[in-house]
Structure 1
Amino acid sequence: MKNRPNKWLAALLGFVMPPLGMLYVVRWKWAIASGLGLLVLACLELLSLHRVEGLTTLLSLGFAVFICRVAYVQANRFDPERTRPAYSQWSGILLSSVALVVCVVTFRSFFYEPFRAAAGSMQPTIPVGAHMVVQKWGFGNYGTYGLSFFRFGVTEPVARGDILVFEAPPLRKYQYVKRVVALPGDQVKVQNGKLTVNGRVLVLSPLPDYLDEFSMRYYKRFLENSGAQEYEVVFDEQVRSVPLPTEKFAHMESCRYEADEVICTVPPDHYYFLGDNRDNSLDSRYLGFVPQDHLVGKVIYVSP
């Protein structure tokens, strides 16, 4: 009997981490299948399933209970005379756990990482609570879960109109998501939220008003054309000024602030960011220029 997996431990592992539970009861094919099941659930969550309140949680719970029961039954039926392979022993389970953690951390750090919008500064493009997938490779800032492992130079091209995640200067304490509106060497003017880059006024085409479901307020909405990209921006008629930053930032001498506008020349290896919610965004008008080594990654998918 001593060689038989403990049925209660199998059930616990199956509920908490289904693939490990299946390895523990010597069902490696089930382990692969349950891992794929978890991946499918994660993809469904990303593909707007989270908008149906409680559905993702219910599906995940049901899946965990199902694998829990399978692991319990398989452990109870296990032939005590059968030799358990190394991967189902404690050493194998521990090694599998470590390998799984390393794979997840590596993927999130170097390739793609999910984020969630905590604020509405990028509305209507990124609503409050929206899920995003961020490309990390090529931006030189590799880390996850609040940890930074490696920092290299940026090799991925950055274009006006790209939406990037970056570490807020100067302390890197917070990560923000905003749109790049000006590149190194550009002169940018923001007047009442409207953009002029290198003397070219970005065209705004009127669209129907935007309803912010979070605040239940309507905003004026426009389609802005940067030359290479078109995207929607909104304006809050109750906020029509550009207050001075509360603190000085690097290269602040490159900017000139007036009552309703700011004009800046972007220094080398820096970028100028704005939120699409032009009057409700903590961006480069207040934070200053974002150094290249503060870039985290590019938003390549948004699930509203």
Structure 2
Amino acid sequence: MRSALKFVMALIVTILLMLAFRALVFTVYTVSGSGLEPCFVSGDRVLVNRWSYGLRTGGGPYFRYTRWMPSPVERGDLVAFNCPADSSVPFTSLPVSACYCTGVPGDTVMADGVRLMVPGRDHIVKVSESNMRLLCFLYNRYEGRNAEIADGRLIVDGAETRCAAFGNDYYWFSSGRPSEPYDSRFFGFVPETHIIGKVSVLLYSVDPSLPFYECLRPGRNMQLIRKPRPLGAK
């Protein structure tokens, strides 16, 4: 009886440690769809380092968002994040996506033929007719401010704003494929609160169309994820 109790206690402790490790250090996600082909295919299992940009805690209905030992996302990083496509649930409950970071605060990106500056804590954005609706959206959705557009002016908390300042850093993400628009071209800027971590390792890959005893794809295991080579580099 005592040996059985020890076994149960050891099993419980092991499970708790595994859950803590998954929540606080690394998390494994499964790639679905074709958005990141040819680098990744549906069925890949990737490891996400939750400490890459600082550990994110809270953000739900009971605990305030906090990021421990924060560091910025860098251009070219393959980042896992909660996709900001739905505002009806806490952002930590949103579906997880992965894209390459192609715009950090202060950069200029193109969206529908319009040049937009990526906002951030240390980057003031001049309000113009082309970016006014987007800035208004960011204030209302992520900044906890009351913003509206009236008579061609951006009104924030009851006062006209000509130079927009923000409390969050934002990022622009790309799938890397012009034909795959499910990235910032679809859901816009991604706030730092939605960032989970960097995709760091391709652990293994499973072909769901094959039986379990031969479903592992050869040559797709334990591969470090490196930044893509800049355009024009040799």
| Cross-structure match for 1:158 | 73
Q: Secondary structure at the match of 2:138?
A: coil
Aligned residues: 152
| Cross-structure match for 1:296 | 196
CA distance 1:116–1:289, shift in 2 (3 Å): same
Gaps of 5+ in 2: 118-135, 142-146, 148-163, 205-219, 221-234
Structure 2 residue 43 is matched with structure 1 residue 129? yes
| Cross-structure match for 1:236 | none
Q: Secondary structure at the match of 2:40?
A: coil
In structure 1, how many angstroms separate the alpha carbons of the residues matched to 2:10 and 2:63?
A: 22
Select the structure of larger CA radius of gyration: 1
CA drift of 1:157 comes to: 3.2
Q: Secondary structure at the match of 1:106?
A: helix
On the 8 A contact 2:99/2:174 being kept in 1, the answer is yes
1:184 aligned residue (95, 105, 116): 105
Q: Which amino acid aligns with 1:109?
A: A
Structure 2 residue 113 is matched with structure 1 residue 250? no
Structure 2 residue 17 is matched with structure 1 residue 103? yes
| Cross-structure match for 1:89 | 4
1:274 aligned residue (162, 174, 192): 174
Q: Which amino acid aligns with 2:138?
A: A
Q: Secondary structure at the match of 2:79?
A: strand
CA distance 1:129–1:284, shift in 2 (3 Å): same
In structure 1, how many angstroms separate the alpha carbons of the residues matched to 2:46 and 2:63?
A: 22
1:113 aligned residue (23, 27, 33): 27
Q: Deviations over 1:215-267 (max 9, x none)?
A: xxxxxxxxxxxxxxxxxxxxxxxxxxxxxxxxx953699xxxxxxxxxxx9x6
Q: Deviations over 1:138-161 (max 9, x none)?
A: 433259xxxx98842261331101
On the 8 A contact 1:124/1:277 being kept in 2, the answer is no
Normalising to structure 2: TM-score of the pair?
Answer: 0.55
Structure 2 residue 67 is matched with structure 1 residue 167? no
In structure 1, how many angstroms separate the alpha carbons of the residues matched to 2:20 and 2:4?
A: 26
Greater mean deviation of Cα atoms: 148-157 or 93-102: 148-157
On the 8 A contact 1:142/1:296 being kept in 2, the answer is no
In structure 1, how many angstroms separate the alpha carbons of the residues matched to 2:57 and 2:23?
A: 5
CA drift of 1:94 comes to: 2.6
CA drift of 1:131 comes to: 1.6
Q: Which amino acid aligns with 1:116?
A: T
Q: Secondary structure at the match of 1:133?
A: strand
Percent identity, please.
23
Q: Deviations over 1:267-286 (max 9, x none)?
A: 65111111023312411111
CA drift of 1:168 comes to: 1.3
Q: Deviations over 1:146-193 (max 9, x none)?
A: xx988422613311010011011144321111111100121112579x
1:46-85 aligned at under 5 Å gives the runs none
The structure whose residues are more often helix, as a share, is 1
Could you say what the CA RMSD is over the residues aligned between the two structures, in angstroms?
3.5
Q: Which amino acid aligns with 1:132?
A: V
CA distance 1:107–1:179, shift in 2 (3 Å): same
| Cross-structure match for 1:61 | none
Q: Which amino acid aligns with 1:166?
A: F
On the 8 A contact 2:57/2:67 being kept in 1, the answer is no
Q: Secondary structure at the match of 1:250?
A: helix
Gaps of 5+ in 1: 4-85, 199-247, 254-264
